[in-house]
Amino acid sequence: MPEGDALHRAARRLQPLVGQRLEVESPNPRAQATGVAPRVDGRVLEAVEAVGKNLLLRFEGGVVVRSHLRMNGRWRIEPRGKVRTGLPWLVLRGETHEGVLWNGPVLTLEQRNVARLGQDVLAEEFDLEAAVVRLRQGSDLRLGEALQDQRLVAGIGNMWMAEALWSIRTSPWPRVGDVGDGTLRDAIGAARRLMREALATGRPGRQVYRRAGRPCLRCGTIVRSRGQGDANRTAYWCPGCQAGGGPPGE
Ligand SMILES: [Zn+2]
């Protein structure tokens, strides 16, 4: 079957998502490391088109994601919230449906002037101390937002931010400037460990992400969620066992 046909069909399948502001995540840590999901999470998808052997997803603000499917990649459209096993490369979550990319071996950002990225959190060689110093450059940011700032440390998205901070019992809400080096070290270290584990086992191992309104698996307090930062990505945290306070004004 000609690859171009498959791409045009994929572009058609994704049309229901065009015009919507999407929640985007990369459950697969390899895909997370591309930095694509955090750059388009919360943006409006303006167009999807097949161009040559690529699927181009155009988001507001001039951000373009290129998906080349090679032999194994597949785009599916599924009802929102469908339970699935495995680690898709990209999930584009709209109001009623989500576009899901499986085994997308090539996923890149086409935006010009992409800011220089921080260290790749999944890299074999990783300098944790240097990553802490770099994260300090975001001292005015809330911890949860800073961990997703790709210029500070690359590869951590919304889901892994929530899971890493839950695992070290720290809230996403304190400002980076108000937490100690030990906490920053633990937070980055936990994200790296959890993402590498997920890669090795094929399981995302979610404990807190998207569990708002349900009891914390560790202490039973009801998990909360709230938009955070300029991109207004949803932070999930347990006010019972994650220290550091809540959103501003509380
Ligand atoms: Zn808890």
* Full-model pTM: 0.64
Dist. CA 234–CA 31, nearest whole Å? 20
Q: By C-alpha distance, which of 106, 79, 103 is closest to 27?
A: 103
Tokens of 199: 């890669």
Ligand 1 geometric centre to CA of 221 (Å): 5
Ligand 1 geometric centre to CA of 159 (Å): 17
Ligand 1 geometric centre to CA of 212 (Å): 12
Q: By C-alpha distance, which of 82, 147, 74, 131 is closest to 105?
A: 74
Dist. CA 142–CA 145, nearest whole Å? 5
Ligand 1 geometric centre to CA of 237 (Å): 8
Ligand 1 geometric centre to CA of 12 (Å): 43
How many angstroms separate the Cα of 106 from the Cα of each of 30, 66, 68, 73? 11, 8, 5, 9
- What three-state secondary structure class fits 9? helix
CB atoms within 10 A of CB 18: 16
103: left (phi over 0), alpha (psi -120 to 50) or beta: left
Ligand 1 geometric centre to CA of 140 (Å): 26
Ligand 1 geometric centre to CA of 238 (Å): 5
- pLDDT for 150 equals 83
Ligand 1 geometric centre to CA of 180 (Å): 22
- Please answer whether residues 64 and 58 qualify as being in contact, where contact means their C-beta atoms are separated by less than 8 angstroms: yes
The pairing of strands 153-154 and 119-120 is parallel
- pLDDT tens digits, one per residue of 29-83: 888 888 889 888 888 999 998 876 788 899 887 788 988 887 788 899 999 988 8
Q: DSSP letters of 199-217?
A: HHHS----SSTT-TTSB-T
Q: By C-alpha distance, which of 200, 199, 206 is closest to 29?
A: 199
- pLDDT for 104 equals 77
16: left (phi over 0), alpha (psi -120 to 50) or beta: alpha
Query: Where would I find the H helices in 102-180?
Result: 128-135, 143-146, 158-167
- Please answer whether residues 156 and 144 qualify as being in contact, where contact means their C-beta atoms are separated by less than 8 angstroms: no
Dist. CA 159–CA 88, nearest whole Å? 13
How many angstroms separate the Cα of 3 from the Cα of each of 14, 52, 55, 66, 77? 17, 9, 11, 15, 19
Dist. CA 168–CA 183, nearest whole Å? 8
Per-residue confidence in pLDDT tens, the chain, 250 aa: 335 677 888 899 999 999 999 999 998 888 888 888 988 888 899 999 887 678 889 988 778 898 888 778 889 999 998 888 889 999 999 999 999 999 877 888 875 544 567 888 888 889 999 999 999 999 999 999 999 988 899 888 889 999 999 999 999 999 999 999 999 999 999 999 998 888 788 777 789 999 999 999 999 999 999 999 887 889 999 999 999 999 998 8
Ligand 1 geometric centre to CA of 119 (Å): 30
